[in-house]
Amino acid sequence: PFTAGELLCLGSSVALSGLFYYVYRRKARVAARIQAAPKLQVDDELPALVAAAHGRCLPYVALEGIVLPAKATLSSHYHEDMQGVIQKLLLKEHRLIWNSLARSW
C-alpha cells in the first residue's frame, strides 16, 4: 500500500526527528548543569580554589563580585539603572587537524 517514495520520506522524517531530539537532550543537559552551577565570590580565596581544582579549571561556576571597567561602563538602552562591562575572551585552540576534503586546517 505504500510506495518507495513514501517510505523514503517517512524514514528520513523519523531519522531527522531522532537526530533533533538527540541534540535537544544534549543541550538540555548542558543547560541544567549551567543552572546548577555553584556560585562563588570573587575574593582572595578564589585563586587557591582554582589551583586546587582538577586541571586547574572550574567547570560551570557563577562568579559574583564587583568588577571594574577598563574604560567606561555600558549603559542599557532599555533600563536606565542597569550598567555592564565587556568581558575579554581568550580563545585557545588546542590542536589543528588537516581536513583533506575541505583542504583546510
Percentage of residues of the chain with pLDDT beyond 70: 91
Q: What's the mean per-residue pLDDT of the chain?
A: 86
Rounded Cα–Cα distance for residues 19 and 54 (Å): 33
Rg (the chain; Cα; Å): 23
pLDDT at 42 (0 to 100): 84
Q: What is the pLDDT of residues 24-57, one digit of tens each?
A: 999 999 999 888 888 988 888 888 998 998 888 8
State residue 20's pLDDT score: 98
Distances, alpha carbon 43 to alpha carbons 14, 66, 86, in Å: 52, 10, 20
Instruction: Tell me the CB-side half-sphere exposure of residue 21, using CA atoms within 13 A.
Output: 6
